[in-house]
Structure 1
Amino acid sequence: MSRNQPPKIAIVAGEHSGDLLGAGLMQAIAKRHPNATFIGVGGPLMAERGMDSFFAMDDLAVMGIAEVFQQLPKLLKHRKNLVNYLISEQPDVMIGIDAPDFNLTVEARLKKAGISTIHYVSPSVWAWREGRIKGIKKAVDHVLCLLPFEKDFYDKHQLPATFVGHPLADDIPMQWQQTEARNELELEPAVMYLAILPGSRKGEIARMAPVFLKVANKLAERYPELRFVAPMISEARAAQFRELVDQYSPELNIVLPVGESRKVMAAANYLLLTSGTVALEALLIKRPMVVAYRFHWLSYQIIKRLFHAPFFSLPNLLAGKEIVPELAQSDASEEAIEQALVQLIEQDSQPLLEQFTNIHQQLQVSASEKAADVVESFL
Structure 2
Amino acid sequence: MEKHASRIMIVSGEISGDQYAGLLALQLKKLSSDIDIAGIGGKKLKSTGIRIILENPVSGDFGITSVLKNLWPHIRFLKQCKKAIEKENPDLIVFIDNPGFNLALAEKLNNFRKIYYVPPKIWAHNYQRIFLIKNLFDSVITIFPFEKQLYEKENIPSYYFGHPVVDLICEYEDFNDFLQKMRIRKNSQIIGIFPGSRKEEIRNIFPLMIRAGYEVKKKYPYVDFIVSCADESLYEILKTMIEGEKIDWRIWNGSAHILAKNSQVALTASGTMNLELAILGIPMIVFYKMDRINYSIAKTIVHCNYISPVNIITGKKIVEEFIQDVNWNRFMRIFSEIFEQGEKREKHIQQLNHLRLILGEKDVSARVADFIMEKLNENNKRVS
User: Do they fold alike, i.e. is TM over 0.5?
Assistant: yes
Q: Structure 1 stretch 175-184 or stretch 72-81: which is displaced more?
A: 175-184
> For 2:172 and 2:356, how far apart are their aligned partners in 1?
11
Query: 1:223-272 deviations in whole A, cap 9, x for unaligned?
Result: 233332223344303322322xx2xx51x233332344322222210112
The offset of 1:183, in angstroms, is 6.3
Query: 1:59-105 deviations in whole A, cap 9, x for unaligned?
Result: x5463455544543343233234324434543211111112222112
> For 1:163 and 1:116, how far apart are their aligned partners in 2?
19
Query: 1:146-191 deviations in whole A, cap 9, x for unaligned?
Result: 2222212212222111113222212215798988864674422224
Unmatched runs of 5 consecutive residues or more in structure 1 = none
Aligned to 1:320: 315
In the superposition, relative to structure 1, how do residues 88 and 293 fare at CA in structure 2: closer, same or farther (>3 Å)? closer
Tell me which of 209, 232, 238 is aligned to 1:212: 209
- SS at 2:111's partner residue? coil
> For 2:264 and 2:308, how far apart are their aligned partners in 1?
20
Aligned to 2:380: none
> For 2:251 and 2:84, how far apart are their aligned partners in 1?
45
Q: Counterparts in 2 of 1:1-379, with a 5 A limit?
A: 6-58=5-57, 61=59, 63-64=61-62, 65=64, 68-110=67-109, 113-173=110-170, 182=179, 185-233=182-230, 234-243=234-243, 246=244, 249-250=245-246, 252-330=247-325, 332-346=326-340, 347-348=342-343, 349-363=345-359, 364-379=361-376
The offset of 1:22, in angstroms, is 2.4
- SS at 1:255's partner residue? strand
- Contact 2:279 2:356 survives alignment (8 Å): yes
- SS at 2:54's partner residue? coil
Return the letter of the residue paired with 1:339.
R
Return the letter of the residue paired with 1:353.
I
- SS at 1:127's partner residue? coil
In the superposition, relative to structure 1, how do residues 180 and 267 fare at CA in structure 2: closer, same or farther (>3 Å)? farther
> For 2:295 and 2:107, how far apart are their aligned partners in 1?
31
- Contact 2:61 2:201 survives alignment (8 Å): no
- SS at 1:130's partner residue? coil
Corresponding pairs, count: 369
The offset of 1:49, in angstroms, is 4.3
Q: Percent identity?
A: 26
Tell me the TM-score normalized by structure 1: 0.86
In the superposition, relative to structure 1, how do residues 149 and 181 fare at CA in structure 2: closer, same or farther (>3 Å)? farther
- Contact 1:211 1:334 survives alignment (8 Å): no
Q: Structure 1 stretch 162-171 or stretch 21-30: which is displaced more?
A: 21-30
The offset of 1:119, in angstroms, is 0.9
> For 1:3 and 1:157, how far apart are their aligned partners in 2?
41
In the superposition, relative to structure 1, how do residues 198 and 77 fare at CA in structure 2: closer, same or farther (>3 Å)? closer
> For 2:204 and 2:228, how far apart are their aligned partners in 1?
17
Tell me the TM-score normalized by structure 2: 0.85
- Which structure shows the higher helix fraction? 1
The offset of 1:117, in angstroms, is 0.5
> For 2:301 and 2:350, how far apart are their aligned partners in 1?
33
Unmatched runs of 5 consecutive residues or more in structure 2 = 377-384
- Contact 1:196 1:212 survives alignment (8 Å): yes
